[in-house]
């Protein structure tokens, strides 16, 4: 069986004038349909760069991304992104922010009424219908991130890309949203690629955890399968042996073998 999403020998070199830095080197990864994969690594190793390459917002210097065996190198709604800082358009209401993508993606396939219903449906998936007429400045950080998720889901992406979606949130909100994402993944079966720097989050949500070495020339150091059945329960896992073992593995990778070195 060929992979659903394939990152094929990706290199990324940033060059400014004569100076150039190789950020990513030889990244190869295959992701199956419906799989939830997390990428974890220290700050600055190139996680966002990698995600942007998959999203098509940045181009790889070498190698490429294949989605269902077709090369993708420009951004599109089939790889919707939930950005680290929500990136909602402040002059649009919550509803309009989601509707913007819906109108583009389903311009030909859905009627006006259907697009309206679909927008509301996706807002209801993240429990945000009640605030649909509010502006982003009028809702909390967690709510904004929910709307960002709804906006991405509403495009019916083949792959959902999450760039540290909960990084800027407090621990309680974060846990709550993690549960939401788990529930959504269980219900909708999306293929998800998520960046995180939170070990617990990675183990709790993922089917596989991709651990990246430190940059420059970061690459995949290790890939860990998380052999826990879905749906997972945060409290039950706290004492689960398999969970603790996975957690231990990731921690060892990050803090013993690839300790964070201050950029020289």
Partner 1 sequence: MTMPAIRNDGVTIMPAAAANAPVVAITPRRRPWRDSYGRIARDTAARVIPPLIVITLLMLFWELVCRRTGSTLPPPSKVYNDTKELIFDPFFDHGGIDKGLFWHLSASLQRVALGYSLAAVAGIGLGVLVGQSVWAMRGLDPLFQVLRTIPPLAWLPLALAAFRDGQPSAIFVIFITSIWPIIINTAVGIRNIPQDYRNVAAVVQLNPLEFFWKIMLPSAAPYIFTGLRIGVGLSWLAIIAAEMLIGGVGIGFFIWDAWNSSHISEIILALFYVGIIGFVLDRAIAGLGRLVTHGTSAS
Ligand X SMILES: Nc1ncnc2c1ncn2[C@@H]1O[C@H](COP(=O)(O)OP(=O)(O)OP(=O)(O)O)[C@@H](O)[C@H]1O
Q: Which residues bind ligand X (CB under 6 A)?
A: 14, 23, 41, 43-49, 197, 215
Q: Which does 17 bind (CB under 5 to 8 A by kind): Mg ion, partner 1, ligand X, none?
A: none
Q: Which does 85 bind (CB under 5 to 8 A by kind): Mg ion, ligand X, partner 1, none?
A: partner 1
Q: Respond yes or no on whether the N-terminal peptide bond of residue 48 is cis (omega within 30° of 0).
A: no
Kindly list the distances between the CA atom of residue 116 and the CA atoms of 111, 176, 185, in Å, as whole numbers in the listed order.
9, 27, 23
Q: Which tokens in the block code for residue 247? A: 């957690």
- Least Cβ distance, residue 152 to partner 1 (angstroms): 8
Query: HSE of 194 in the Cβ direction (CA atoms, 13 Å)?
Result: 29
Of the residues 12, 31, 67, 101, which one makes contact with partner 1 according to CB under 8 A: 101
Give the residue at shortest CB distance from ligand X.
48
Of the residues 105, 149, 160, 193, which one makes contact with partner 1 according to CB under 8 A: 105
Q: Which long-range contacts (CB under 8 A, 24 or more apart) does 175-182 make?
A: 175/234, 176/142, 177/142, 177/145, 177/146, 177/149, 178/204, 178/205, 178/234, 179/234, 180/126, 180/127, 180/146, 180/149, 181/149, 181/205, 182/230, 182/231, 182/232
Q: Which does 87 bind (CB under 5 to 8 A by kind): Mg ion, partner 1, ligand X, none?
A: partner 1
Options 11-19, 61-69, 88-96, 237-245: segment touching partner 1 (CB under 8 A): 88-96
Q: Which tokens in the block code for residue 239? A: 């004492």
162 belongs to the binding site for partner 1 (CB under 8 A): no
Q: Which is nearer to partner 1, 116 or 200 (CB)?
A: 116
- Least Cβ distance, residue 140 to partner 1 (angstroms): 13
31 belongs to the binding site for partner 1 (CB under 8 A): no
Find where tokens 């709307």 sit: 147
Q: How would you list the strands of the sheet with 79-82, edge to edge?
A: 79-82, 159-163, 191-196, 36-40, 208-212, 220-225
85 belongs to the binding site for partner 1 (CB under 8 A): yes
Residues 30 to 69: which contact Mg ion by CB under 5 A? Answer: 48
59 belongs to the binding site for partner 1 (CB under 8 A): no
Q: How many residues does the chain have?
A: 264
Q: Which is nearer to Mg ion, 46 or 105 (CB)?
A: 46
Residues that bind Mg ion (CB under 5 A): 48
């Amino acid at each position: 069986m060929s992979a659903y999403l394939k990152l094929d020998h990706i290199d990324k070199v940033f060059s400014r004038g004569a100076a150039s830095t190789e950020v990513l080197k030889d990244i190869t990864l295959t992701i199956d349909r419906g799989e939830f994969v997390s990428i974890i690594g220290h700050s600055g190793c190139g996680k966002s760069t990698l995600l942007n390459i998959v999203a098509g917002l940045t181009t790889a210097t070498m190698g490429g991304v294949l989605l269902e065996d077709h090369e993708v190198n420009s951004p599109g709604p089939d790889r919707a992104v939930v950005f680290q800082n929500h990136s909602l358009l402040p002059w649009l209401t919550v509803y309009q922010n989601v509707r913007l993508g819906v109108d583009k993606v389903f311009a030909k396939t859905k009627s006006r009424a259907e697009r309206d219903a679909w927008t509301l449906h996706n807002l209801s998936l993240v429990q945000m219908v009640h605030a649909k007429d509010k502006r982003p400045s009028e809702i909390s950080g967690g709510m904004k991130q929910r709307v960002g998720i709804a906006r991405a889901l509403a495009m019916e992406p083949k792959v959902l890309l999450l760039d540290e979606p909960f990084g800027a949130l407090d621990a309680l909100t974060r846990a709550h949203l993690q549960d939401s994402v788990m529930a959504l993944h269980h219900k909708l079966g999306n293929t998800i690629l998520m960046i995180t720097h939170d070990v617990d989050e990675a183990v709790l949500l993922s089917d596989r955890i991709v651990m990246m070495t430190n940059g420059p020339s970061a690459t995949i150091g290790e890939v860990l399968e998380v052999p826990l059945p879905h749906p997972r329960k945060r409290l039950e896992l706290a004492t689960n042996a398999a969970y603790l073992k996975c957690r231990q593995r990731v921690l060892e990778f990050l803090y013993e073998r690839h300790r964070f070195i201050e950029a020289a």
